[in-house]
Every structure is written in structure tokens, then in C-alpha cells.
């Protein structure tokens, strides 16, 4: 009987490891397919898409020590869009399967991403007020007390609220904007806000949050969505200092409540001089020089309002996230010039749109990150390639 159990246990472990190895390959393949799809769209729409063979070879040689799979589609896509010739562009498959897993502790990432506790984890008035928070099926007050939820927001002074999942949401999915209509709260889709609606829609782990009335500088790009600054920070493996390595502006499509690129929005790059770059791109690869139905001309290279202040807040908050060296913050600035943090992202960070508009993801820190990952890649499990 013991022999049978040992044999069964052996086959279980082999099958489990084989499944994880297969998952590893599928992740690489999925990144490649996505990159190829975007590249095909860009080739149809861009006038100049030729990339030097030497640059492609240099990119492959630079990243190959980390992974033998270095697809050409990424260096072609990013070079064609930005005009920047650099072997330092990061292939997405290597980022997701090697770099992020080595720099961030994925086993506890979900807890740190939970929007329902974001204001509990950090000090400062940087967060939209949360009226209702459901955490694993239990409702809590702002002070952490277990409560029975009621739909009474701001003593009748609030006209709009946002309802959304607090964990596991990506791409602006399942986010609802409810407006006060008499004694009810109604969203554009016609749903009436109630505890029953939220529990049937989300099950558990969701929040009701105040709606941010954004600063005019940001609303000019699209007034229907809260347009955010995605700020990417990196805690150096050399000196443990926090550095802001990328900032982009995300703008929702006309009429949309969210600004996510996957929901039809555009991404604008922001240069080292703090000014918006001269083009924006959406998920389909459409490149434009004007937004807001032509009213905002990106060729004017506008300086971003309060950008330095936003960067400082990002660096401050990043210090508390000791389990993640790479973070993606979504900030907005309200009508009273108060900086508000919408969410923190620490796993599966979308990096394609950053390199599409700003250039190589890690900039001056690319070499130290590459060297660190090369030194520690033995920590990655189920690695064959």
C-alpha cells in the first residue's frame, strides 16, 4: 500500500510540474502573439517601420542571457513608434516571466493591491474617500469596524460615486459611475445601486468610492473620464533608493468613465522635461497628434500640471511597499489641486504602452536590473528555456 502511495505521489508531482512548465511556455507564447498582433496593426498605419537588422541582433544579444526566447516584434514595434534606436527595449515575455517575478514577491501582491485597504496602509490625504468597503464578504467602516452598510454618502452632499472591485480588476472592467437621482443612485447602464446589486455583481471584495472631480488641466483631454498619470517606480537593487523611472498620461475615449487603453483610451508619453510628447496611441495602434475631438494639440508639448508633486508622492508611498521593487501608481489631481492615488499595481504591470511612447522601460537602470536578474534567475522555478 505504501508503494502505491509513493508511486501515486510521484506521478502527481511530475504532472504538477509538467503543468507549470507548460504554463511557462504558454505565457511566453501569449506575450509573443500579443506583440505580433500589435506590430501588424502598426505596420499598416506607420509610414516608417523598417528597423535595422543590427539593432534587432543587439537587442537579442542583450537579453538572451536571461531567456533564449527574444522575439523581434517588440524591438520593431517600439523602435518604429518612438524613433529611439536602443537595444535596451524590454521584450514583454522576458519582463513577465523573469524580471517581474524576480523583483516583486508575487505571493503577497494581491493584498498590497487591495483598493479597500489602500488608505489603511498609507498615511496622508492621498486617497479618494471610501464610503463602503467589502473585504472578503465583511463590511468595514473607515476605522476598520465591522458594520452594516447603508447607502448614505457624505450626509447628502455627494452627487456621484464610483463602484468597483477592490481586487483582481484590470483594464477598467466592471467599474460603474452612479449618480444621485431623487432617492436613488442610477448608473448609465440603468442599474439602481443597492447592496443586493453589488453583492450579485461582485460577490465580495468591492468598494463604493467618492467620484473625483479632476483638475481642468487633465479634464481638457477628455472630461468624461478621470485621466490619470501612471507613475512607475523602481527600488534599486544596489542602494534601495526609490526612483521614478516612467510617467505617462492615460486618457479615456470620448464618453468613457475609465481611461484604460484596453477600454479604448489613449496613452501619451511624458518626457524628461515634464512635457507631454507629441503623439498618443491606443490599443489598436492608432497614433494621433490631437485629442478631445481635435481641441488639444499634442504638438504643443504642454508641461504636465503638478508633475513633480505627483512624483514625490509616488516615491513616498513606494517606500512602504517593501515586497515589490517595481510599482505602477495611478494618480489624478482633483479640482482643488489635491493629489489622489486611485490604485497601486504590483503584478502583471502593463509595460507595452510605456515603451510605445517613452522608450526603454528601465532607462539608466536597465543594466543593473539585467545583471541582478541574471545573477538570481536560478530562483525561478520550472524554467527550461
Domain shared by 292 and 220, yes or no: yes
User: With contact defined as beta carbons under 8 Å apart, do 41 and 284 qualify?
Assistant: yes
**Any domain includes 94:** no
User: With contact defined as beta carbons under 8 Å apart, do 52 and 13 qualify?
Assistant: no
CA distance 188 to 385: 48
* SS3 assignment, position 108: helix
Domain shared by 201 and 251, yes or no: no
**Any domain includes 384:** no
What is the DSSP secondary structure assignment for residue 275, as one 8-state letter?
B
Domain that holds residue 226: 107-116+214-369
Q: What is the mean pLDDT of the chain?
A: 89
Domain shared by 184 and 233, yes or no: no
**Any domain includes 305:** yes
Domain shared by 133 and 205, yes or no: yes
Domain shared by 353 and 219, yes or no: yes
Domain shared by 51 and 73, yes or no: yes
**Any domain includes 98:** no
Q: What per-residue confidence (pLDDT) applies to 156?
A: 76
Domain shared by 76 and 154, yes or no: no
Domain shared by 198 and 224, yes or no: no
CATH number at residue 306: 3.30.470.20
CA 52 to chain centre: 31
Q: Which of 163, 186, 210 is at the close of a domain? A: 210
Average pLDDT over residues 305-309: 98
Domain shared by 28 and 69, yes or no: yes
Domain shared by 364 and 247, yes or no: yes
Share above pLDDT 90 across residues of the chain, in percent, rounded to a whole number: 70
Q: What is the pTM of this model?
A: 0.90
**Any domain includes 123:** no
CA 233 to chain centre: 12
Query: How many domains does the chain fold into?
Result: 3
What pLDDT digit, counting tens, does each position of 117-136 carry? 999 988 889 999 999 999 99
For residue 19, is pLDDT > 50?
no
pLDDT band at 373 (very low <50, low <70, confident <90, very high): very high
Domain shared by 233 and 158, yes or no: no
Domain shared by 36 and 166, yes or no: no
Amino acid at each position: 500500500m505504501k508503494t502505491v502511495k509513493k508511486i501515486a505521489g510521484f506521478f502527481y508531482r511530475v504532472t504538477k510540474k509538467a503543468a507549470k512548465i507548460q504554463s511557462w511556455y504558454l505565457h511566453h507564447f501569449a506575450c509573443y502573439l500579443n506583440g505580433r498582433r500589435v506590430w501588424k496593426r502598426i505596420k499598416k498605419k506607420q509610414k516608417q517601420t523598417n528597423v535595422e537588422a543590427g539593432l534587432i541582433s543587439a537587442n537579442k544579444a542583450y537579453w538572451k542571457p536571461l531567456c533564449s526566447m527574444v522575439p523581434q516584434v517588440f524591438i520593431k514595434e517600439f523602435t518604429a513608434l518612438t524613433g529611439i534606436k536602443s537595444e535596451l527595449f524590454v521584450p514583454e515575455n522576458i519582463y513577465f516571466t523573469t524580471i517581474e517575478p524576480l523583483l516583486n514577491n508575487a505571493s503577497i501582491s494581491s493584498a498590497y493591491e487591495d483598493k479597500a485597504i489602500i488608505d489603511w496602509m498609507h498615511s496622508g490625504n492621498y486617497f479618494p474617500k471610501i464610503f463602503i468597503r467589502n473585504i472578503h464578504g465583511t463590511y468595514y467602516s473607515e476605522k476598520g469596524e465591522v458594520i452594516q452598510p447603508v447607502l448614505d454618502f457624505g450626509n447628502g452632499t455627494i452627487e456621484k460615486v464610483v463602484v468597483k472591485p477592490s481586487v483582481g480588476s484590470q483594464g477598467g472592467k466592471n467599474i460603474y459611475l452612479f449618480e444621485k437621482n431623487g432617492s436613488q443612485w442610477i448608473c448609465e447602464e440603468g442599474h439602481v445601486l443597492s447592496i443586493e446589486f453589488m453583492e450579485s455583481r461582485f460577490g465580495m471584495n468591492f468598494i463604493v468610492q467618492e467620484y473625483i472631480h479632476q483638475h481642468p488641466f487633465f479634464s481638457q483631454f477628455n472630461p468624461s473620464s478621470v485621466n490619470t498619470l501612471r507613475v512607475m517606480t523602481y527600488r534599486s537593487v544596489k542602494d534601495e533608493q526609490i526612483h521614478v523611472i516612467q510617467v505617462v498620461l492615460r486618457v479615456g475615449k470620448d464618453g468613457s468613465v475609465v481611461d484604460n487603453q484596453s477600454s479604448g483610451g489613449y496613452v501619451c508619453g511624458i518626457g524628461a522635461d515634464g512635457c507631454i510628447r507629441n503623439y498618443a496611441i491606443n490599443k489598436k495602434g492608432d497614433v494621433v497628434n490631437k485629442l478631445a475631438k481635435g481641441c488639444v494639440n499634442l504638438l504643443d508639448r504642454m508641461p504636465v500640471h503638478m508633475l513633480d508633486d505627483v512624483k514625490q508622492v509616488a516615491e513616498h508611498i513606494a517606500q512602504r511597499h517593501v515586497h515589490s521593487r517595481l510599482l505602477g501608481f495611478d494618480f489624478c489631481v482633483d479640482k482643488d489641486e489635491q493629489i489622489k492615488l486611485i490604485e497601486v499595481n504590483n503584478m502583471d504591470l502593463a509595460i507595452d504602452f510605456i515603451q510605445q511612447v517613452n522608450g526603454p522601460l528601465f532607462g539608466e537602470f536597465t543594466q543593473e536590473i539585467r545583471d541582478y536578474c541574471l545573477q538570481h534567475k536560478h530562483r525561478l522555478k520550472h524554467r527550461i528555456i
